[in-house]
A and B are shown apart, each in its own frame.
Chain A
Amino acid sequence: MALEILKPGLATTVQDLGRPGYYHLGIPLSGGMDRLALAAANLLVGNDEGDAVLEAVFLGPEIRFTTDAVIAVTGADMPLKIDGVELSTWTTLAIKADQVLSFGFLKAGARIYIAVAGGIDVPVVLGSRSTYPLGALGGHQGRTLKAGDALATLPPKRAMAPGSTIAPERRRGPGTSPVLRVLPGLYWHRITAEAGNGFFDDTWKVAPEADRIGYRFRGGRPLEFVPREPPFGAGSDPSNIVDSCYPYGSIQVPGGTEPIVLHRDAVSGGGYFMIGTVISADMDLIGQLQPNQKVRFVKVTMDEALAARKDAQATAARIRASF
């Protein structure tokens, strides 16, 4: 065993880049909410980008290492300490057996990624080590970590010199202005033109319910729907549809009041209309949003969404190339 969890934090889980390929069976993607930060943490310790790390949200865990290890922490801005001494994030660090990794109060962003050389050794379930707590699948016993848990690591793959770092301009930190780009969806015709404009004009606030399943927003005007006779199979509320697939990133608006962006642990289908889909390039940014933070949604075309995806891939490639 290499890691002993002294304090688990709020909802710390083992995550890798996820479990694609089973969403049609109701098993979500899971994996890190901020995939770029997760991959960066892995690269800093000589791992493959998709090795398993710990994802902690809002509150850092306290971990005693029982063997010497090489670690790195990326993602949200949260002070990192080894035996109480503050050290740099986004940097390769050596930690010795019996030393304790802990964290200060979150300053910005939401989620940190703690990578250990070799990667966290939990069983691979359906091709991934990611935890899906709602389905008790994957990760460490299918759940968030508890005090007293012991985690092992796999043998390190490549040596990384302590002090290696990712240049600040290459980090996509929580400082990035929270504007989420949206491609309007198949059900756009269900709302009035005025409601459609209002959705993009209004400023929304992250609701405290926001989690790995979905990010809920409030504060904007309620949507007004185009009147209709409910089709067979759809509920009577105007926001109901005949059950449909929910894509990753889709924005459902139950009752027309509070938009929910479905994220890594989302359900795969249901009967709420979707106004559109947050583009894949902006999904990592959602993973770094705090409750009460203000965001705006901006309408984009498919061409703009594809260009943004290329940019996001180039950002990831630049980080990869720096190793």
Chain B
Amino acid sequence: MPLKTVQSPLPGIFYRKPAPDQPPFKSEGDMIAIGDTIGLIEVMKTFTAVVAEEAGKIVAFHLENEDAVMAGECLYDIET
């Protein structure tokens, strides 16, 4: 199965949880569908959802919750 790496469209702070006291949107090993929210990127007081553009299985996250992220940086790997 081909492995694909999804990059961040924006610089900012990457959040894997919808709120500090909530579980992560997705974890390694989860199956995801097109349109699923994988995380949030905060920049300029705006939270932009990172939405899956392909379905598959999340193999690995490259960033932890609240890590700083640059545009183009790898967010997660997916098996499609």
Contact = CB atoms under 8 A, between A and B. Distances in A.
Contact of B10 (A59, A107, A209, A210): A59
Contacts of A10: 10, 43-44, 46, 48
Contacts of A105: 7-9, 71-72
A131 B10 CA distance: 22
A42 B70 CA distance: 29
Contacts, number: 49
B72 A291 contact: no
B13 to A, nearest CB: 5
A262 B68 CA distance: 23
Contact of B44 (A11, A107, A292): A11
A259 B17 CA distance: 28
Contact of A209 (B7, B11, B44, B71): B44
Contacts of B48: 10
Interface residues of B, number: 17
Interface string A205-218: 00011110000000
A292 B11 contact: yes
* Interface of A (DSSP majority class): loop
Given A10-B43, A10-B46, A106 B13 contact: no
B9 A208 contact: no
B42 A208 contact: yes
Contacts of B42: 208
B56 interface: no
A240 interface: no
Nearest to B48: A10
Q: How large is the interface on A (under 10, 10 to 19, 20 to 34, 35 or more residues)?
A: 10 to 19
B39 interface: no
B70 A292 contact: yes
B57 to A, nearest CB: 24
A231 B59 CA distance: 60
Contacts of A57: 44
Contacts of B9: 59, 105
A58 B46 CA distance: 12
A252 interface: no
A166 to B, nearest CB: 24
A292 B13 CA distance: 9
Contacts of B72: 105-107
Of A10, A107, A210, most B-chain CB atoms within 10 Å: A10
A291 B46 contact: no
A130 interface: no
A292 B43 CA distance: 10
Interface string B1-19: 0000001111111000000
Contacts of A210: 44
A208 B7 contact: no
B21 to A, nearest CB: 21
12 contacts: A10-B44, A57-B44, A58-B71, A59-B9, A105-B8, A105-B9, A106-B72, A209-B44, A290-B71, A291-B13, A291-B68, A292-B11
The 6 closest A-B CB pairs, nearest first, are A105-B72, A106-B71, A211-B44, A292-B68, A105-B71, A290-B11
Given A10-B48, A59-B10, A208-B12, 9 more contacts: A58-B10, A105-B7, A106-B11, A106-B71, A210-B44, A290-B11, A290-B70, A291-B11, A292-B70
